[in-house]
Amino acid sequence: MISGWCRGLVRLACACGLVGSLGASPHLASAGADTTIYKTQQHDVRLVTVADGLNAPWSLCFLPDGRMLVSEQVGRLRLVQPDGTLGAPIGGLPDLYVFNQGGLLDVAVAPDFAQTQRIYFTFSEPGESFVGTAVARARLDLQARRLRDVEVIFRQRPKLPGNRHFGARIVFGPQGNIFATLGDRGERGRVQDLSNTLGSVVRVRPDGQIPADNPFVDQVGRVPALWSYGHRNPQGAAIHPRTGDLWIVEHGPTGGDELNLVKPGHNYGWPTVTHGVDRDGSPIGVGKHAPGMTPPIHTWTPSIAPSGLSFYTGDAFPKWRGDLLVGALAGRTLIRLQMEGAHVRAEERLLDGLDERIRDVVQGPRGRVYLLTDMPEAKLYRLEPVGR
């Protein structure tokens, strides 16, 4: 059941910009109605349209057999065949608040899906005129195209009025625990208060229990699920394939979007420190740095509105291995961050001329890269090497 309805997606008016750029990738030529070739710094790539007709898709994940699950923010979960055929919506979702930035958000397949058929998803959960980000798990009955045994394992507290800054990315850590990013819900003045989970990353077990080694366990007045705090609106999350560290990207105010390496118990500053400014150009907080607050690894000003984050580990684009791929909404592009340890060596903007808001970026089978665009009539794309 859907509470409210999506009357149009939020369109951020921020301009896009370059920081430490390798330059934009030139468009080479069209290779057919559903295929376009682009030249990048390291590889010539083919952009293939896999599926269209999606309505505001937010997240993509792969089942073990190569089929895909796509969440649509408007309140639908879709099964997509490898050839792009869209299935009917999967039933059994809980009540959703679908308006502005709220709705059905991230979706992830459990590491033990082959045994449990479990998936996890985030959504904006309504409740008595208030709403908050929630994390749920369910058993995916593929034969019946329905979710079974739906169970909310975490709820952001407090629920609040308003329809923005839900955060809502989820990833599995190396020990099987779940990291969930939570936005500040527009209440930035409460983010530094550790008695709530506004503007934070939380870490819970797959059943919602609290890991004993979370940094604030048994500390009076602090939420034991907290992993880090001082975030604004993180909409991308990825686990480093070698170190197991959590990395996130988050929206700044006007400018100051951030890439952060997230460490347990660290304070990332919002709104005391930020590289951005308020909408009227006035400063926020005390500046870009303050004692006891962890600075970002990389920032974007003007804002790109980052959404979706993946470390590339595949064979299709060997010169990208270890790099980060970032979707950009306001930037309307895909960004490759050339990584050197915990530092960004350079930035390259890919797919110049595509000019579409990128909501999610995921590495798929055979090292291909899959992209979701953010539109009422959106597409699922696949990025593959030319000549291989």
Q: Which of 331, 128, 187 is nearest to 249 (CA)?
A: 331
Quick check: is 165 catalytic? yes
Q: Which of 103, 134, 88, 132 is nearest to 2 (CA)?
A: 103
Q: Which of 222, 359, 236, 206 is nearest to 309 (CA)?
A: 236
CB 307 within 8 A of CB 359: yes
DSSP code, position 302 = S
Report helix, strand or coil for 100: coil
Q: Which of 296, 271, 299, 275 is nearest to 285 (CA)?
A: 271
- CA 13: distance to chain centroid? 20
Contacts of 209 (CB under 8 A, 6+ apart): none
- Rounded distance between C-alpha atoms, residue 238 and residue 236, angstroms: 7
Report helix, strand or coil for 319: helix
- Rounded distance between C-alpha atoms, residue 281 and residue 14, angstroms: 13
Residue carrying structure tokens 């089942």: 63
165, 231, 275, 298: the active-site residue: 165
The CA-CA-CA angle for residues 231, 150, 104, to 5°, reads 45
CB 131 within 8 A of CB 122: no
Report helix, strand or coil for 274: coil
- Rounded distance between C-alpha atoms, residue 191 and residue 146, angstroms: 37
Contacts of 134 (CB under 8 A, 6+ apart): 122, 123, 124, 125, 152, 154, 155, 156
Catalytic sites, residue numbers: 165
